[in-house]
A = this chain, B = another copy of it.
């Protein structure tokens, strides 16, 4: 029996059931479980299914939905979130960026904090639902379906109307020379507006973001007041920022 035939059988079954087991397939096709396992691995590499312990399940395709990206760096980002909370005080007006870093901060926000939140992110609003003492100002604009933030000129103009105390800025890439950059033009525009209107910018960056750059320019590193990262140990790179008067946490 050809390997391709087994592939077909496996995929057919997955088309009908929601799962396949190593043992069953092994018995059905008269090969060892190892073989089936290798088959599944190969199919998984092609993205045709998802290999799981004990078998396989249909691969849920589709481009990165908002929910998926959340799990990525979660530990590191959670660490960052906790550190960043120290900067928030009662009475402040705070901008929350649309990224997942800021989202985790919103998630950890104490219920008794009295602040005004300015944001363009629906998930943030959703999380702040229960916080009675948080006033929310939402930036209008065109809705970006996959990340649930608003963008465009309206959004930019909205941020320009305020003078918030703090901006919690999720960082895609940051580089000592090239400054802060991001992968999307319109989101970069919005970030820039947030930054320029705020008195103080707190950058939220996992270590892997440091020293990288992307296509669209957001702002120079000078605009940042604080960079919050997930590691306490010192890197040489930290010193470059410190010399610029940026506080590293």
Contact = CB atoms under 8 A, between A and B. Distances in A.
Interface of A: 2-5, 8, 18-19, 21, 45-48, 52-55, 57, 60-68, 70-71, 74, 103, 122-123, 125-127, 129, 132, 135-143, 145, 148, 150, 154-155, 158, 161
B142 A137 contact: yes
Nearest to A144: B136
**Secondary structure class of chain A's binding surface, majority of residues:** mixed
A240 B210 CA distance: 69
A140 to B, nearest CB: 3
13 contacts: A2-B21, A2-B52, A8-B18, A45-B71, A61-B123, A62-B67, A62-B126, A129-B145, A136-B143, A138-B141, A140-B140, A140-B141, A154-B161
Nearest to A18: B8
Given A2-B19, A154-B140, A126 B68 contact: no
| Number of chain copies forming the complex | 2
Contacts of A66: 47, 61-62, 126, 129
A46 B67 contact: yes
B148 A142 contact: no
Contact of A140 (B48, B137, B148): B137
Given A2-B21, A46-B68, A150-B138, A122 B63 contact: yes
A140 B138 contact: yes
Nearest to A63: B122
Contacts of A65: 62, 126
B54 A70 contact: no
A70 B61 contact: yes
B135 A142 contact: yes
